[in-house]
């Protein structure tokens, strides 16, 4: 089961809203909107995507990593290594 199971609906809704933001961006570009207005909307969509990522990370730590830690052993090490790699990718994206 995914770590975000209990937030699945909410995350789906947020992603649909972000899809709408990306479509809004296409419309702006199609209408030759002013560069700065397009950039403002890109910053908003990026922020929204990052928020979803932070929510997913929270769920991942609270469920997948935590449960692996409770079971202990090599799997717990792997989960931590994997979570850190995901955080690094996010910070650098």
Smallest gap from Cβ 27 to its own copies, in A, equals 10
Residues within the interface to its own copies (CB under 8 A):
1-5, 8, 11-12, 15-16, 18-19, 22-23, 25-26, 29-30, 32-36, 38-40, 42-47, 49-50, 52-54, 56-62, 64-67, 69-70, 72, 76-77, 80-84, 86-93
- Give 32's contacts (C-beta < 8 A, 6+ positions apart): none
Residue with tokens 């052993």: 73
Rounded least distance, CB 29 to its own copies, Å: 5
CA distance 72 to 92: 30
Q: Tell me how far CA of residue 50 lies from CA of 12, 21, 25, 72, 90, in angstroms.
A: 14, 14, 18, 30, 8
Least Å from the CB of residue 71 to its own copies: 9
């Amino acid at each position: 089961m995914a770590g975000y199971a209990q937030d699945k609906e909410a995350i789906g809704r947020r992603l649909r809203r972000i899809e709408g933001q990306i479509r809004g961006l296409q419309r702006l570009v199609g209408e030759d909107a002013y560069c700065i207005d397009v950039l403002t909307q890109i910053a908003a969509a990026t922020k929204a995507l990052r928020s979803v990522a932070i929510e997913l990370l929270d769920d991942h730590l609270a469920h997948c990593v935590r449960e692996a830690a409770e079971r202990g052993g090599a799997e717990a090490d792997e989960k931590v290594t994997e979570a850190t790699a995901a955080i690094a990718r996010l910070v650098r994206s």
